Amino acid sequence: MAMKLTYSVQEFDDKIEQAYRILLPHQITAIDAGILKWKFQNNPAGPGLVAVCRTGEGEIVGINGFQPGRFQNNSGNQFLAYQSMDTIVSPKARGQGVFSHLLEEFYKSNNGDVIYGFPNSQSARGFFGRLGWTNLGTAPYLVRPVRSAYFGRKLLKSFPDFKLPSFSAKPGNSNQITRFDERANKAQAATIPQNSTCLVRSSDYLNWRIFDKPDNDYVVLTDDHQAYVIGSVAEKHGGNIGYILDAFGTPKLLPGLIAAMVNYQSEKNADVVLSWCLPHSANRQAFRNAGFFNLPNRLRPIEINFGARNLSPNSPDMILLDDWYISYLDSDTV
């Protein structure tokens, strides 16, 4: 017999934190470090929301988190969007459509204009089907191999491992910073046009996203505050993966600054460096000059899709991917 289940949308509290600990035990270390309070309570765009499924006895058996962000559309107007994340259903409640009901409850009980996210191959069918999202395409992976074995051993287990030579832009001037200020806002104008649809990357947002994140391991390099590159290295997908979360600023400085970040990541034993960059983005050529190229689908570590859905009649038009600017900075998993 199906359990009696109820649904609600609320702000984060101690009971939801406890539910995270039970339903997502692999996040306990991050929760202890304060990741949930950072995500849902300290966000400069406002408090996050959580869709909750409870049994008749009040036990939480399903959650879906929603992190707010200030966006601009292709007319330069700002709007509030929520990123869907952290969806989990207890085994005891599976088979009752909890995943769909959580999102449908959120559609009815939020103050936002848009919901967006990055569904993987398992969840994409639901998001882009019955849940009404628009599929804006797969994540725009670029790659810069650093060592030979990461991809070579996908073809031959005994493939030798050695550092690959570089025939791209030489590393430029760079200094590491530990805080953004208004100069970062100015630098973005060279990379992100005012008519882009994107998350507003203000200095307040960047400081929260990068430097205030608990247990952050990000490195930010700048060339005289005219260009910035944000990176990290993590052990994932069967190797040490370097990530460039974003690169923005004066076009002539970006290739050398990206190359400096790759050098840093190589010193941290990265096997490969990944980035997200759409074909029409103004910084695409800088990545190409720094030795990055398209990552074929068959070599991608995971299938990630990008999609969104309007939440109100006044929501902006988001159908054209050519209007968007996205990077790994928009992902909640890097």
Say how many C-beta atoms besides its own lie within 10 A of residue 333's C-beta: 11
User: What would the mean pLDDT of 301-328 be, rounded to a whole number?
Assistant: 83
How many CA atoms lie less than 13 Å away from 222 in the CB half-sphere? Answer: 14
**pLDDT category, 320, cuts 50, 70, 90?**
low
User: What would the mean pLDDT of 53-66 be, rounded to a whole number?
Assistant: 96
User: What would the mean pLDDT of 72-98 be, rounded to a whole number?
Assistant: 91
Whole-number Å distance between alpha carbons of 46 and 52:
19
**pLDDT category, 73, cuts 50, 70, 90?**
confident
Predicted local distance difference test score (pLDDT) of residue 108: 92
- Average pLDDT for the chain: 92
Between 152 and 181, where is the model more confident? 181
Q: Please check the confidence at residue 316 and state whether its pLDDT lies above 70.
A: no
Strands 272-276 and 5-11 turn out to be unpaired
User: What would the mean pLDDT of 76-82 be, rounded to a whole number?
Assistant: 89
DSSP 197: B
Instruction: Single out the residue of 86, 109, 106, 97 nearest to residue 5, CA to CA.
Output: 97
**pLDDT category, 302, cuts 50, 70, 90?**
confident
Q: Please check the confidence at residue 66 and state whether its pLDDT lies above 80.
A: yes
pLDDT, tens digit (0-9, with 9 covering 90-100), for 108-122: 998 899 999 999 888
How many CA atoms lie less than 13 Å away from 132 in the CB half-sphere? Answer: 10
Range(s) of the chain covered by CATH 3.40.630.30: 5-138, 141-303
Length of the chain: 334
102-106, 219-223, 317-321: least confident range:
317-321
**Percentage above 70 pLDDT, the chain:** 98
Structural tokens at position 80: 């509030």
**Would you tell me which CATH number, out of the four given (1.10.3720.10, 3.40.630.30, 1.20.140.10, 3.10.520.10), belongs to the domain 5-138?**
3.40.630.30
Q: Please check the confidence at residue 127 and state whether its pLDDT lies above 70.
A: yes
Whole-number Å distance between alpha carbons of 212 and 208:
5
User: What would the mean pLDDT of 62-84 be, rounded to a whole number?
Assistant: 92
Structural tokens at position 307: 């999609």
Q: Is 141-303 a domain of CATH 3.40.190.10?
A: no
**pLDDT category, 29, cuts 50, 70, 90?**
very high
**pLDDT category, 284, cuts 50, 70, 90?**
very high
**pLDDT category, 3, cuts 50, 70, 90?**
confident
User: What would the mean pLDDT of 33-57 be, rounded to a whole number?
Assistant: 96
Whole-number Å distance between alpha carbons of 75 and 56:
47
Q: Please check the confidence at residue 182 and state whether its pLDDT lies above 90.
A: yes
Q: What are the residues whose beta carbons fall under 8 Å from the beta carbon of 192, sequence distance 6 or more?
A: 198, 201, 248, 282, 325
pLDDT, tens digit (0-9, with 9 covering 90-100), for 208-258: 999 999 988 999 999 999 999 999 999 998 899 999 999 999 999 999 999
Single pTM value for the model: 0.93
Whole-number Å distance between alpha carbons of 201 and 186:
11
Instruction: Single out the residue of 142, 164, 161, 303 nearest to residue 237, CA to CA.
Output: 303
